[in-house]
Amino acid sequence: MDIHKILKQLPHRYPFLLVDRVLEIDKGKSIKALKNITINEPFFEGHFPNRPVMPGVLMLEALAQASALLSFDALNATPDDQMIYYFAGMDGVRFRRPVEPGDQLILEAELLRAKAGIFKFRTRAMVNDQIAVEAELTCAMRTVK
């Protein structure tokens, strides 16, 4: 899935769109996506000026966005202005290595269960085959009016 299809699925836009490409998707089971980390990212100005590091919460957000793409694909759904996909929880979060400019963050999510619009995923983000962060994420799909 290229950036044009991602933009049709996710409501996020620069600077908060954190998935550049979907590399693999196994319908209803798993996804592998990527985020290219460049020195031009706006958060690097302040995190940290002398040693830029991607904030951990943004790595988790990138994993949630990849997970949302897996959910929409599993449901054969394209979200509209009435559908919102929220973070509902994080468990077992572990940060293993820093992510710096020039890294390519590989985002992996495995769907553990889905019921009544609530999705639970086992996720991890990798750089050069090393785990940068891992977590179980819970997300909720809701209709808003």
Give the domain ranges of the chain: 3-143
Residue 51 structure tokens: 């040693």
Could you say which architecture CATH assigns to the domain 3-143? Roll (3.10)
Mean pLDDT for the chain overall? 95
Active site residue 4: no
Q: What is residue 78's predicted lDDT score, i.e. its pLDDT?
A: 84
Q: What is residue 1's predicted lDDT score, i.e. its pLDDT?
A: 94
**Chain segment 42-95, per-residue pLDDT in tens:** 999 999 989 999 999 999 999 999 999 999 999 888 888 888 889 999 999 999
Q: What is the mean pLDDT of residues 114-141?
A: 96
Q: Please tell me whether the overall predicted TM-score, pTM, comes out greater than 0.85 for this model.
A: yes
Quote the CA–CA distance of 99 and 104 in Å, as a whole number: 9
Q: What is residue 84's predicted lDDT score, i.e. its pLDDT?
A: 86
Which string of DSSP letters, residue by residue, matches 65-96?
A: HHHHHHHHHHTT----TTEEEEEEEEEEEEE-
Catalytic residue among 12, 32, 47, 97: 47
